Amino acid sequence: MALSSFTAASSRRSLSRKAELEAAIRDAELRHEVQELEKKLQRLTTASPYPPTIPGTGSSAGVAALLGDADVTLDQLRKDSQLLTKVDEKLAHLDGASVTKPPPSKGLAAQLAALDRDVVGAKQSAFAEGTYKNLKTQWRAYLLFCEHFRLTALPAKTRTLARYAQFLSRSLKCVNSIKIYLHGVRLLHLFQGLTPPPAGAFDLRLVLSSLQRHSTHVPQQKLPITPAILLQIHGHLDVTRPLHATLWAAFCVAFFGLLRKSNLVPKSSAAFDTDKHLTRQSFHASEGGLVLHITWSKTLQFKQKVLRLPLPVIPGHPLCPTQAYLNMCRLLPAPPHAPAFLIPSRAGVLVTLTHDTLVTHLKTLLHTAGFPAARFSGHSFRRGGATYAWHCGADPATIKLLGDWSSDAYERYLDSSLEQPVRN
Protein backbone atom coordinates (compact mmCIF):
# COMPACT_ATOMS: atom_id res chain seq x y z
CA MET A 1 0.00 0.00 0.00
CA ALA A 2 2.78 2.35 0.98
CA LEU A 3 4.72 1.36 -2.13
CA SER A 4 1.80 2.00 -4.43
CA SER A 5 1.16 5.40 -2.85
CA PHE A 6 4.82 6.30 -3.33
CA THR A 7 4.69 5.20 -6.96
CA ALA A 8 1.54 7.21 -7.65
CA ALA A 9 3.00 10.31 -6.03
CA SER A 10 6.21 9.93 -8.01
CA SER A 11 4.24 9.57 -11.21
CA ARG A 12 2.28 12.75 -10.48
CA ARG A 13 5.53 14.66 -9.77
CA SER A 14 6.99 13.41 -13.08
CA LEU A 15 3.92 14.53 -15.01
CA SER A 16 3.97 17.88 -13.25
CA ARG A 17 7.65 18.30 -14.00
CA LYS A 18 7.07 17.38 -17.64
CA ALA A 19 4.27 19.93 -17.89
CA GLU A 20 6.50 22.58 -16.31
CA LEU A 21 9.27 21.82 -18.79
CA GLU A 22 6.88 21.95 -21.75
CA ALA A 23 5.47 25.26 -20.50
CA ALA A 24 9.00 26.63 -20.08
CA ILE A 25 9.88 25.61 -23.63
CA ARG A 26 6.73 27.27 -24.97
CA ASP A 27 7.53 30.44 -23.02
CA ALA A 28 11.08 30.46 -24.37
CA GLU A 29 9.87 29.99 -27.94
CA LEU A 30 7.30 32.74 -27.50
CA ARG A 31 9.89 35.14 -26.05
CA HIS A 32 12.22 34.38 -28.98
CA GLU A 33 9.44 35.02 -31.49
CA VAL A 34 8.51 38.30 -29.80
CA GLN A 35 12.17 39.40 -29.77
CA GLU A 36 12.48 38.68 -33.51
CA LEU A 37 9.30 40.64 -34.26
CA GLU A 38 10.53 43.55 -32.15
CA LYS A 39 13.84 43.56 -34.05
CA LYS A 40 11.98 43.55 -37.38
CA LEU A 41 9.69 46.34 -36.24
CA GLN A 42 12.69 48.33 -35.01
CA ARG A 43 14.34 48.09 -38.41
CA LEU A 44 11.18 49.37 -40.06
CA THR A 45 10.75 52.35 -37.76
CA THR A 46 14.35 53.47 -37.39
CA ALA A 47 14.82 57.06 -38.60
CA SER A 48 16.30 57.11 -42.08
CA PRO A 49 17.23 59.72 -44.69
CA TYR A 50 15.17 57.73 -47.20
CA PRO A 51 11.45 58.23 -47.73
CA PRO A 52 8.95 56.15 -45.73
CA THR A 53 7.38 53.37 -47.73
CA ILE A 54 3.80 54.01 -46.61
CA PRO A 55 1.84 56.92 -45.12
CA GLY A 56 3.12 58.35 -41.86
CA THR A 57 6.17 57.46 -39.80
CA GLY A 58 7.08 55.62 -36.61
CA SER A 59 5.39 52.48 -35.33
CA SER A 60 2.27 52.89 -37.49
CA ALA A 61 4.46 52.91 -40.60
CA GLY A 62 6.17 49.71 -39.48
CA VAL A 63 2.91 47.96 -38.71
CA ALA A 64 1.50 49.00 -42.10
CA ALA A 65 4.62 47.68 -43.78
CA LEU A 66 4.16 44.36 -42.00
CA LEU A 67 0.66 44.26 -43.41
CA GLY A 68 2.08 44.42 -46.95
CA ASP A 69 1.54 48.05 -48.05
CA ALA A 70 5.24 48.83 -48.17
CA ASP A 71 5.52 49.37 -51.94
CA VAL A 72 2.67 51.72 -52.79
CA THR A 73 3.12 53.04 -56.33
CA LEU A 74 1.91 55.97 -58.37
CA ASP A 75 -0.44 53.70 -60.33
CA GLN A 76 -2.06 52.58 -57.08
CA LEU A 77 -2.58 56.18 -55.96
CA ARG A 78 -4.17 57.02 -59.29
CA LYS A 79 -6.76 54.31 -58.66
CA ASP A 80 -7.79 55.79 -55.29
CA SER A 81 -10.94 57.69 -56.32
CA GLN A 82 -11.29 59.63 -53.06
CA LEU A 83 -7.65 60.70 -53.11
CA LEU A 84 -7.87 61.60 -56.78
CA THR A 85 -10.97 63.74 -56.23
CA LYS A 86 -9.28 65.65 -53.41
CA VAL A 87 -6.15 66.22 -55.51
CA ASP A 88 -8.12 67.34 -58.58
CA GLU A 89 -9.88 69.95 -56.44
CA LYS A 90 -6.51 71.27 -55.27
CA LEU A 91 -5.16 71.23 -58.81
CA ALA A 92 -8.15 73.18 -60.10
CA HIS A 93 -7.51 75.80 -57.45
CA LEU A 94 -3.80 75.99 -58.26
CA ASP A 95 -4.27 76.51 -62.01
CA GLY A 96 -7.00 79.10 -61.44
CA ALA A 97 -9.91 77.01 -62.72
CA SER A 98 -11.85 77.10 -59.45
CA VAL A 99 -13.62 80.16 -58.07
CA THR A 100 -13.73 80.47 -54.28
CA LYS A 101 -15.79 83.66 -54.19
CA PRO A 102 -17.77 85.75 -56.68
CA PRO A 103 -15.61 88.29 -58.52
CA PRO A 104 -16.38 91.99 -57.96
CA SER A 105 -18.98 93.31 -60.38
CA LYS A 106 -17.68 96.84 -60.95
CA GLY A 107 -14.91 99.33 -60.30
CA LEU A 108 -11.15 98.85 -60.30
CA ALA A 109 -11.48 95.60 -58.37
CA ALA A 110 -13.55 94.10 -61.19
CA GLN A 111 -11.02 95.26 -63.77
CA LEU A 112 -8.16 93.73 -61.78
CA ALA A 113 -10.10 90.47 -61.41
CA ALA A 114 -10.57 90.36 -65.18
CA LEU A 115 -6.86 90.98 -65.69
CA ASP A 116 -6.06 88.18 -63.25
CA ARG A 117 -8.24 85.77 -65.22
CA ASP A 118 -6.52 86.84 -68.45
CA VAL A 119 -3.10 86.30 -66.83
CA VAL A 120 -4.08 82.76 -65.80
CA GLY A 121 -5.19 82.01 -69.35
CA ALA A 122 -2.07 83.58 -70.84
CA LYS A 123 0.23 81.53 -68.59
CA GLN A 124 -1.52 78.35 -69.65
CA SER A 125 -1.60 79.16 -73.37
CA ALA A 126 2.11 80.04 -73.36
CA PHE A 127 2.65 76.28 -73.60
CA ALA A 128 1.53 74.06 -76.43
CA GLU A 129 -1.69 72.22 -75.59
CA GLY A 130 0.06 68.86 -75.30
CA THR A 131 2.85 70.32 -73.16
CA TYR A 132 0.44 71.87 -70.68
CA LYS A 133 -1.53 68.64 -70.51
CA ASN A 134 1.69 66.78 -69.66
CA LEU A 135 2.47 69.37 -66.98
CA LYS A 136 -0.90 68.82 -65.33
CA THR A 137 -0.26 65.07 -65.32
CA GLN A 138 3.06 65.70 -63.53
CA TRP A 139 1.46 68.12 -61.03
CA ARG A 140 -1.32 65.64 -60.28
CA ALA A 141 1.25 62.90 -59.59
CA TYR A 142 3.16 65.14 -57.17
CA LEU A 143 0.01 66.21 -55.34
CA LEU A 144 -1.12 62.58 -55.06
CA PHE A 145 2.22 61.72 -53.48
CA CYS A 146 2.08 64.61 -51.01
CA GLU A 147 -1.56 64.01 -50.11
CA HIS A 148 -1.00 60.30 -49.52
CA PHE A 149 2.08 60.79 -47.35
CA ARG A 150 0.62 63.90 -45.69
CA LEU A 151 3.49 66.11 -46.79
CA THR A 152 3.41 69.82 -47.54
CA ALA A 153 3.37 70.20 -51.31
CA LEU A 154 4.05 73.95 -51.63
CA PRO A 155 6.60 75.11 -50.94
CA ALA A 156 8.39 71.77 -51.13
CA LYS A 157 11.37 70.86 -49.01
CA THR A 158 14.43 69.29 -50.59
CA ARG A 159 13.82 66.14 -48.56
CA THR A 160 10.31 65.93 -50.01
CA LEU A 161 11.73 65.98 -53.54
CA ALA A 162 14.28 63.31 -52.64
CA ARG A 163 11.46 61.16 -51.28
CA TYR A 164 9.37 61.87 -54.37
CA ALA A 165 12.19 60.80 -56.69
CA GLN A 166 12.61 57.54 -54.77
CA PHE A 167 8.84 56.99 -54.84
CA LEU A 168 8.66 57.58 -58.61
CA SER A 169 11.37 54.95 -59.17
CA ARG A 170 8.80 52.31 -58.24
CA SER A 171 6.74 53.18 -61.32
CA LEU A 172 9.14 54.88 -63.75
CA LYS A 173 12.02 52.78 -65.00
CA CYS A 174 13.85 55.60 -66.80
CA VAL A 175 15.71 58.10 -64.61
CA ASN A 176 15.21 60.80 -67.24
CA SER A 177 11.45 60.38 -66.81
CA ILE A 178 11.86 60.92 -63.07
CA LYS A 179 13.81 64.10 -63.78
CA ILE A 180 10.98 65.34 -66.01
CA TYR A 181 8.47 64.82 -63.19
CA LEU A 182 10.80 66.68 -60.80
CA HIS A 183 11.05 69.54 -63.28
CA GLY A 184 7.25 69.62 -63.29
CA VAL A 185 7.34 70.29 -59.53
CA ARG A 186 9.73 73.17 -60.17
CA LEU A 187 7.34 74.69 -62.73
CA LEU A 188 4.43 74.25 -60.33
CA HIS A 189 6.30 76.44 -57.82
CA LEU A 190 7.05 79.04 -60.46
CA PHE A 191 3.41 79.11 -61.59
CA GLN A 192 2.42 79.90 -58.00
CA GLY A 193 5.07 82.61 -57.60
CA LEU A 194 7.12 80.45 -55.21
CA THR A 195 10.83 79.76 -55.15
CA PRO A 196 11.40 76.06 -55.92
CA PRO A 197 13.95 73.99 -53.99
CA PRO A 198 17.36 74.00 -55.68
CA ALA A 199 17.58 71.34 -58.40
CA GLY A 200 21.17 70.59 -57.40
CA ALA A 201 20.43 69.95 -53.72
CA PHE A 202 22.80 67.37 -52.23
CA ASP A 203 20.16 64.84 -51.08
CA LEU A 204 18.32 64.95 -54.39
CA ARG A 205 21.50 64.60 -56.44
CA LEU A 206 22.54 61.56 -54.40
CA VAL A 207 19.16 59.86 -54.86
CA LEU A 208 19.18 60.49 -58.63
CA SER A 209 22.78 59.28 -58.89
CA SER A 210 21.87 56.12 -57.01
CA LEU A 211 18.87 55.49 -59.24
CA GLN A 212 21.02 56.04 -62.32
CA ARG A 213 23.73 53.68 -61.05
CA HIS A 214 21.32 50.85 -60.28
CA SER A 215 18.98 51.37 -63.23
CA THR A 216 18.61 48.39 -65.53
CA HIS A 217 16.46 50.31 -68.00
CA VAL A 218 17.71 50.32 -71.57
CA PRO A 219 15.80 52.79 -73.82
CA GLN A 220 14.14 50.99 -76.71
CA GLN A 221 13.85 53.25 -79.73
CA LYS A 222 11.52 52.34 -82.53
CA LEU A 223 13.29 51.01 -85.59
CA PRO A 224 13.85 53.34 -88.55
CA ILE A 225 11.98 52.96 -91.82
CA THR A 226 14.64 52.47 -94.49
CA PRO A 227 14.48 52.68 -98.31
CA ALA A 228 14.65 48.88 -98.43
CA ILE A 229 11.63 48.61 -96.10
CA LEU A 230 9.73 51.24 -98.12
CA LEU A 231 10.28 49.21 -101.28
CA GLN A 232 8.96 46.09 -99.57
CA ILE A 233 5.88 48.03 -98.45
CA HIS A 234 5.38 49.40 -101.97
CA GLY A 235 5.21 45.84 -103.27
CA HIS A 236 2.04 45.29 -101.25
CA LEU A 237 0.27 48.45 -102.47
CA ASP A 238 -1.72 49.25 -105.59
CA VAL A 239 -1.15 52.99 -106.02
CA THR A 240 -3.95 53.22 -108.59
CA ARG A 241 -6.37 52.81 -105.66
CA PRO A 242 -7.14 56.07 -103.79
CA LEU A 243 -6.47 54.74 -100.26
CA HIS A 244 -3.20 53.11 -101.28
CA ALA A 245 -2.14 56.21 -103.22
CA THR A 246 -2.66 58.42 -100.16
CA LEU A 247 -0.84 56.04 -97.82
CA TRP A 248 2.12 55.81 -100.17
CA ALA A 249 2.29 59.60 -100.63
CA ALA A 250 2.19 60.11 -96.86
CA PHE A 251 4.90 57.49 -96.31
CA CYS A 252 7.23 59.08 -98.88
CA VAL A 253 6.66 62.66 -97.71
CA ALA A 254 7.18 61.66 -94.08
CA PHE A 255 10.43 59.87 -94.95
CA PHE A 256 12.02 62.45 -97.25
CA GLY A 257 10.66 65.40 -95.24
CA LEU A 258 11.86 63.98 -91.86
CA LEU A 259 8.46 65.03 -90.55
CA ARG A 260 7.09 64.80 -87.06
CA LYS A 261 3.72 63.07 -86.84
CA SER A 262 2.20 66.29 -85.46
CA ASN A 263 2.92 67.99 -88.81
CA LEU A 264 2.12 65.16 -91.17
CA VAL A 265 -1.49 64.34 -90.21
CA PRO A 266 -3.86 65.31 -87.36
CA LYS A 267 -4.93 63.07 -84.48
CA SER A 268 -8.53 63.21 -85.68
CA SER A 269 -10.66 64.90 -88.32
CA ALA A 270 -11.93 67.35 -85.69
CA ALA A 271 -8.36 68.20 -84.67
CA PHE A 272 -7.32 69.27 -88.18
CA ASP A 273 -5.95 72.82 -88.16
CA THR A 274 -4.89 74.57 -91.36
CA ASP A 275 -2.34 76.57 -89.36
CA LYS A 276 -0.61 73.43 -88.02
CA HIS A 277 -1.14 70.53 -90.40
CA LEU A 278 -0.22 70.06 -94.02
CA THR A 279 -2.72 71.26 -96.61
CA ARG A 280 -2.71 70.97 -100.37
CA GLN A 281 -1.33 74.50 -100.63
CA SER A 282 1.61 73.55 -98.38
CA PHE A 283 3.21 71.93 -101.47
CA HIS A 284 4.80 74.18 -104.08
CA ALA A 285 6.21 73.11 -107.45
CA SER A 286 9.88 73.74 -108.24
CA GLU A 287 12.34 72.70 -110.91
CA GLY A 288 13.83 70.07 -108.63
CA GLY A 289 10.53 68.61 -107.46
CA LEU A 290 8.30 69.92 -104.69
CA VAL A 291 8.99 72.34 -101.84
CA LEU A 292 7.05 71.79 -98.66
CA HIS A 293 6.23 74.94 -96.65
CA ILE A 294 5.80 74.48 -92.89
CA THR A 295 4.81 77.42 -90.68
CA TRP A 296 4.19 75.57 -87.39
CA SER A 297 6.01 72.76 -85.62
CA LYS A 298 7.28 71.69 -82.23
CA THR A 299 10.04 74.30 -82.51
CA LEU A 300 8.00 76.84 -84.51
CA GLN A 301 5.23 77.60 -82.05
CA PHE A 302 4.79 81.25 -83.05
CA LYS A 303 5.20 81.11 -86.85
CA GLN A 304 8.44 83.05 -86.57
CA LYS A 305 9.60 81.71 -89.93
CA VAL A 306 8.66 79.41 -92.81
CA LEU A 307 10.50 76.11 -92.99
CA ARG A 308 11.02 75.10 -96.63
CA LEU A 309 11.76 71.42 -97.18
CA PRO A 310 12.71 70.18 -100.67
CA LEU A 311 11.18 66.90 -101.82
CA PRO A 312 13.27 65.43 -104.63
CA VAL A 313 12.31 64.02 -108.00
CA ILE A 314 13.60 60.47 -108.60
CA PRO A 315 12.47 59.82 -112.20
CA GLY A 316 11.02 56.38 -112.77
CA HIS A 317 11.65 55.18 -109.22
CA PRO A 318 8.82 54.01 -106.93
CA LEU A 319 10.38 55.94 -104.02
CA CYS A 320 9.95 59.31 -105.74
CA PRO A 321 8.02 61.48 -103.22
CA THR A 322 7.05 64.03 -105.89
CA GLN A 323 5.51 61.40 -108.12
CA ALA A 324 3.75 59.77 -105.15
CA TYR A 325 2.19 63.09 -104.11
CA LEU A 326 1.11 64.10 -107.62
CA ASN A 327 -0.41 60.66 -108.20
CA MET A 328 -2.51 61.06 -105.06
CA CYS A 329 -3.65 64.53 -106.15
CA ARG A 330 -4.78 63.18 -109.54
CA LEU A 331 -6.84 60.46 -107.91
CA LEU A 332 -8.15 62.63 -105.08
CA PRO A 333 -8.36 66.31 -106.15
CA ALA A 334 -9.12 68.80 -103.37
CA PRO A 335 -9.16 72.60 -102.76
CA PRO A 336 -6.02 74.40 -101.46
CA HIS A 337 -7.10 74.56 -97.80
CA ALA A 338 -8.09 70.89 -97.65
CA PRO A 339 -5.91 68.44 -95.69
CA ALA A 340 -2.97 67.30 -97.75
CA PHE A 341 -3.71 63.60 -97.33
CA LEU A 342 -7.31 62.57 -97.96
CA ILE A 343 -8.88 59.11 -98.05
CA PRO A 344 -12.36 57.98 -99.13
CA SER A 345 -14.72 57.19 -96.25
CA ARG A 346 -17.39 54.49 -96.16
CA ALA A 347 -19.96 57.22 -96.76
CA GLY A 348 -18.25 58.07 -100.05
CA VAL A 349 -16.84 61.44 -98.97
CA LEU A 350 -13.21 62.39 -98.56
CA VAL A 351 -11.87 62.67 -95.00
CA THR A 352 -8.45 63.50 -93.67
CA LEU A 353 -5.96 60.72 -93.02
CA THR A 354 -5.39 60.58 -89.25
CA HIS A 355 -2.37 59.41 -87.33
CA ASP A 356 -4.06 56.29 -85.97
CA THR A 357 -5.27 55.28 -89.43
CA LEU A 358 -1.82 55.84 -90.93
CA VAL A 359 -0.03 53.82 -88.23
CA THR A 360 -2.60 51.00 -88.36
CA HIS A 361 -2.11 50.57 -92.10
CA LEU A 362 1.66 50.93 -91.75
CA LYS A 363 1.88 48.12 -89.19
CA THR A 364 -0.39 45.89 -91.27
CA LEU A 365 1.84 46.39 -94.30
CA LEU A 366 5.02 45.83 -92.26
CA HIS A 367 3.62 42.59 -90.84
CA THR A 368 2.58 41.44 -94.33
CA ALA A 369 6.09 42.21 -95.60
CA GLY A 370 7.61 40.12 -92.79
CA PHE A 371 8.83 42.84 -90.43
CA PRO A 372 8.21 43.06 -86.63
CA ALA A 373 5.46 45.67 -86.80
CA ALA A 374 5.46 46.34 -83.05
CA ARG A 375 9.01 47.71 -83.30
CA PHE A 376 7.96 50.51 -85.68
CA SER A 377 5.81 53.61 -85.26
CA GLY A 378 4.90 56.76 -87.15
CA HIS A 379 8.12 58.27 -85.84
CA SER A 380 10.12 55.60 -87.70
CA PHE A 381 9.89 57.68 -90.91
CA ARG A 382 11.58 60.65 -89.24
CA ARG A 383 14.35 58.51 -87.80
CA GLY A 384 14.79 56.66 -91.06
CA GLY A 385 14.90 59.87 -93.10
CA ALA A 386 17.56 61.38 -90.84
CA THR A 387 19.63 58.20 -91.04
CA TYR A 388 19.30 58.08 -94.81
CA ALA A 389 20.42 61.72 -95.12
CA TRP A 390 23.42 60.90 -92.94
CA HIS A 391 24.36 57.90 -95.09
CA CYS A 392 24.06 60.10 -98.18
CA GLY A 393 26.72 62.41 -96.73
CA ALA A 394 24.57 65.25 -95.39
CA ASP A 395 26.41 67.31 -92.78
CA PRO A 396 25.00 67.79 -89.25
CA ALA A 397 23.84 71.35 -89.96
CA THR A 398 21.81 70.20 -92.97
CA ILE A 399 20.19 67.32 -91.05
CA LYS A 400 19.25 69.67 -88.21
CA LEU A 401 17.76 72.13 -90.69
CA LEU A 402 15.81 69.50 -92.65
CA GLY A 403 14.47 67.90 -89.47
CA ASP A 404 13.76 71.20 -87.73
CA TRP A 405 15.87 70.24 -84.72
CA SER A 406 16.94 73.03 -82.39
CA SER A 407 19.54 70.86 -80.62
CA ASP A 408 21.75 67.85 -81.31
CA ALA A 409 18.92 65.48 -80.40
CA TYR A 410 18.93 64.26 -84.00
CA GLU A 411 22.09 62.26 -83.20
CA ARG A 412 19.94 59.79 -81.24
CA TYR A 413 18.01 59.04 -84.44
CA LEU A 414 20.96 57.98 -86.56
CA ASP A 415 21.24 54.24 -87.10
CA SER A 416 24.36 52.74 -88.66
CA SER A 417 22.49 49.59 -89.74
CA LEU A 418 20.44 51.36 -92.42
CA GLU A 419 20.50 48.56 -94.97
CA GLN A 420 20.01 45.71 -92.49
CA PRO A 421 16.22 45.54 -92.03
CA VAL A 422 15.03 43.36 -89.19
CA ARG A 423 12.80 40.47 -90.11
CA ASN A 424 10.36 38.49 -88.03
The DSSP string of 281-345 is GGEEEETTEEEEEE--BTTBTT--S-EEEEEE--TT-TT-HHHHHHHHHHHS---TTSBSSEEE-
Q: What would the pLDDT profile of 292-341 be if each residue is shown by its tens digit?
A: 998 877 666 656 667 888 999 999 999 999 999 999 999 999 999 999 99
Arithmetic mean of pLDDT, 154-183 = 92
Query: Which of residues 162 and 391 earns the better pLDDT score?
Result: 162
Query: Residue 344's beta-bridge partner residues?
Result: 350
Distance in angstroms (rounded) separating the CA atoms of residues 40 and 31 = 14
Half-sphere exposure of residue 6: CA atoms within 13 angstroms, side-chain side: 3
Q: Give the pLDDT confidence of 219-254 residue by residue, as tens digits.
A: 667 899 999 999 999 999 999 999 999 999 999 999
CA distance 393 to 399: 10
Q: What is the DSSP letter of 279?
A: B
Average pLDDT over residues 76-93: 91
Report yes or no: 157 and 197 within 8 Å, Cβ to Cβ: yes
Name the more confident of 421 and 298: 298
Note every long-range contact of 324-330, with CB atoms under 8 Å and residues 24 or more positions apart, other chains counting.
324/239, 324/245, 324/248, 324/249, 324/251, 324/252, 324/253, 325/249, 325/252, 325/253, 325/283, 325/290, 327/239, 327/245, 327/248, 327/249, 328/242, 328/245, 328/246, 328/248, 328/249, 329/280
The phi, psi pair for 309, rounded to 5°, reads -110, 120
CB 74 within 8 A of CB 167: yes
Please give the Cα distance from 327 to 348 (Å, whole number). 20
- The DSSP bridge partners found for residue 351 are 343
- Whether residue 65 is predicted with pLDDT greater than 50 in this model: the reply is no
C-beta of residue 279 within 8 angstroms of C-beta of residue 337: yes
Percent of the chain with pLDDT over 90: 44
- If one counts every other C-beta atom within 10 angstroms of the C-beta of residue 191, the result is 17
| Cβ–Cβ under 8 Å, residues 351 and 229 | no
Give the 3-state secondary structure of residue 65. Answer: helix
Q: Which domains does the chain have, with CATH numbers?
A: 74-99+119-214 (1.10.150.130), 227-413 (1.10.443.10)
DSSP letter at 350 equals: E
